[in-house]
Structure 1
Amino acid sequence: MFTLLTEIKTLWKSRALLWVLTRRELQARHTGTAAGIAWPYLQPLLTVAAYYLVFDVVFSMRLGEGAPTRAVGTFLIVGALPWMAFCDAVSRGMSSLIEAGGLLQKNPLPPVLFVSRSVLASTLIYGPLILLVALAYTPLHGMGWEMLALMALLVFQLLICLLLGYLLAVLAAALRDTVQIVGFLLSVGIYLSPILFPITLFPEQWRWVLWLNPMTALVQGYQQILLQGAWPAASAWWVTLGWIVFIAALLNVAVKRSRDQLVDWL
């Protein structure tokens, strides 16, 4: 993991520049819009509000026995918002090096800065929204020690997005088809995770497929905290840590082998 540790040290030394780039990234996302800085926050908020309005208010749909909660919209929001955060961070991180290709060819800046900028900008948008939803769900989960677990899950999700976004950015620089393939996987990934349905409703012999999605364990953790007021099961922590170690190992190899050719690929 020596190569990855070097990237982390570089990121730490350039933290001031990273913060400047992240702020500019946030500004670029709402430049020219009437709503200004509020617009990046309004889009996901309106989406989850639509879930609640349609499924809980209009149709009053209910889940069956064994679900963390009976209200469908309330259940969807807990998993859908983190999933939107994951998709936004990973997709933007994946495209960050290609978009910064011209700048990287002219300036010897660390590529990790641009991936981190995109992922952190998405985190600064979706992180507060997830915490806002947690406050709105207080009648369901209370305000106990489980909220510390929520903060830990958010940190783990940030780590997964950073590592996976950087890995995919390197692969996308080498092979542009990566963008299309990952875009498709992200579009179908919501159906291969316990976001639209409780995991107990998925056929038991096929549940292993859900664990191929790195967000499955995190979503289950969010559901247990916000819907049941319970500390996440041990599987949520171990599976998430396993994904972090696995992606980090792949990223270490990818960065090490692409270091000399990365700028040329861009």
Structure 2
Amino acid sequence: MNSQHYRQVVEIRPSKGLFDLELGLVWQYRELLYFLLMRDLKVRYKQAALGAGWAIIQPIIATLIFTLVFGVFVKVPSDGLPYTVFAFTALLPWTLFAESLRRGGISLVGDSALIQKIYFPRLVIPLATALTALVDFLISLLMLFVLLLWYSIPLTLNIVFLPFFIFFTVVLAFSFGLWLGPLNIKFRDVQHIIPFLLQIWMYACPIVYPLSIIPEKYRWLYNLNPMVGVIEGFRWSLLGKENAEFQAIWITVIFVLLLLFGGVVYFKKMERSFADLI
């Protein structure tokens, strides 16, 4: 008998229009997403004596420095909370956002060999980097619960909104990565600008100081910073603040949705030229 060999054929066609985003392909390549996620985690902690412990050590050291400088020496107010908890609660979402954005901005260039060799939806790459930072965040979050227990700060029903703010932190960073990743392919200066901008941006957020010190007449302008809504949302859901900064939160939600939609469209438009430019 003649044996017949069957071969799977994948037909690659260009998108039909600007809004033909082919998002379903990302789900079809979910195994590749998992592989990239695990690869990034293994590379990050390869031959590291403390392994995933660095996800806890980094924000703790930053918190101790902020507590000493701003809490003890400068005596910045902390809304009646222990300054260590006040700063650490804000550092967690900021670190998640900053690491996701930084990695997402350089992820396409870092995986240039993979892009040039095989076909797959390129959206998988920045998505994997965002999820890698999320794993580090979840480890650090455990340390925050230990601090809350140490300072006898009880959790309230606001905690049910915490996944919402975690989700929007990741999506915000992922959305920026959709813009910065393709730009970094064309202009390699982007990878050098990102750390500089993040350093400045951090002090434009209510991390080492409370939102209450911002004059009321300028509060709306300050709230245009999308990370204000995220950080205040974390403090509200974790520390049981009576009133949430809903104006900042809604600005963040609207900003994220617009940035995400525009980022996906821009990413898909530039995707065709990745292999040639990279």
Query: Scaled by the length of structure 2, what TM-score is found?
Result: 0.82
Tell whether the 8 Å contact from 1:3 to 1:252 is kept in structure 2 after alignment.
no
Amino acid at match of 2:36: L
Cα distance in 2 for partners of 1:185, 1:212 equals 17
Q: Does residue 91 of structure 1 match 2:108?
A: no
Q: Does residue 154 of structure 1 match 2:171?
A: no
Q: Aligned to 2:201, which of 150, 165, 189?
A: 189
Amino acid at match of 1:36: G
Unaligned runs of at least 5 residues, structure 1:
none
Q: Classify 1:250/1:102 alpha carbon distance in 2 versus 1 (closer, same or farther; 3 Å).
A: same
Q: Aligned to 2:271, which of 233, 239, 259?
A: 259
1:28 aligns with 43
Q: Does residue 17 of structure 1 match 2:29?
A: no
Tell whether the 8 Å contact from 1:91 to 1:183 is kept in structure 2 after alignment.
yes
Superposition RMSD in Å: 2.6
Q: How far 1:200 sits from its partner (Å)?
A: 2.2
Cα distance in 1 for partners of 2:268, 2:120 equals 17
Tell whether the 8 Å contact from 2:108 to 2:126 is kept in structure 1 after alignment.
yes
Cα distance in 1 for partners of 2:254, 2:179 equals 16
2:250 aligns with 238
Q: Classify 1:68/1:134 alpha carbon distance in 2 versus 1 (closer, same or farther; 3 Å).
A: farther
Q: Does residue 73 of structure 1 match 2:84?
A: yes
Tell whether the 8 Å contact from 2:176 to 2:259 is kept in structure 1 after alignment.
yes
Q: How far 1:133 sits from its partner (Å)?
A: 0.9
Amino acid at match of 2:200: V
Q: Classify 1:204/1:233 alpha carbon distance in 2 versus 1 (closer, same or farther; 3 Å).
A: closer
Tell whether the 8 Å contact from 2:92 to 2:141 is kept in structure 1 after alignment.
yes
Cα distance in 2 for partners of 1:177, 1:211 equals 29
Q: How far 1:206 sits from its partner (Å)?
A: 4.2
Q: How far 1:171 sits from its partner (Å)?
A: 1.6
Cα distance in 2 for partners of 1:124, 1:74 equals 21
Equivalent positions of 1:47-66 (< 5 A) are: 47-52=62-67, 59=72, 62-64=75-77
1:39 aligns with 54
Q: How far 1:61 sits from its partner (Å)?
A: 6.7
**Larger Cα Rg: Structure 1 or Structure 2?**
2
What SS does the aligned partner of 1:215 have?
helix
Q: Classify 1:191/1:206 alpha carbon distance in 2 versus 1 (closer, same or farther; 3 Å).
A: farther
What SS does the aligned partner of 2:174 have?
helix
For residues 127-184 of structure 1, give each alpha carbon's deviation from its aligned partner in whole angstroms, at most 9, with x where no partner exists.
3322541453256652332111112111111111222222211121122222233322
What SS does the aligned partner of 1:263 have?
helix
Amino acid at match of 1:30: Y
Between Structure 1 and Structure 2, which shows a larger proportion of helix residues? 1
Q: Classify 1:144/1:40 alpha carbon distance in 2 versus 1 (closer, same or farther; 3 Å).
A: closer
Cα distance in 2 for partners of 1:149, 1:142 equals 16
Query: Scaled by the length of structure 1, what TM-score is found?
Result: 0.85
Q: Does residue 249 of structure 1 match 2:264?
A: no
Q: How far 1:14 sits from its partner (Å)?
A: 1.4
2:114 aligns with 103
Sequence identity percentage: 25
For residues 59-79 of structure 1, give each alpha carbon's deviation from its aligned partner in whole angstroms, at most 9, with x where no partner exists.
387544xx5334333321111
Unaligned runs of at least 5 residues, structure 2:
1-17
What SS does the aligned partner of 1:197 have?
coil
Q: Aligned to 1:113, which of 124, 141, 158?
A: 124
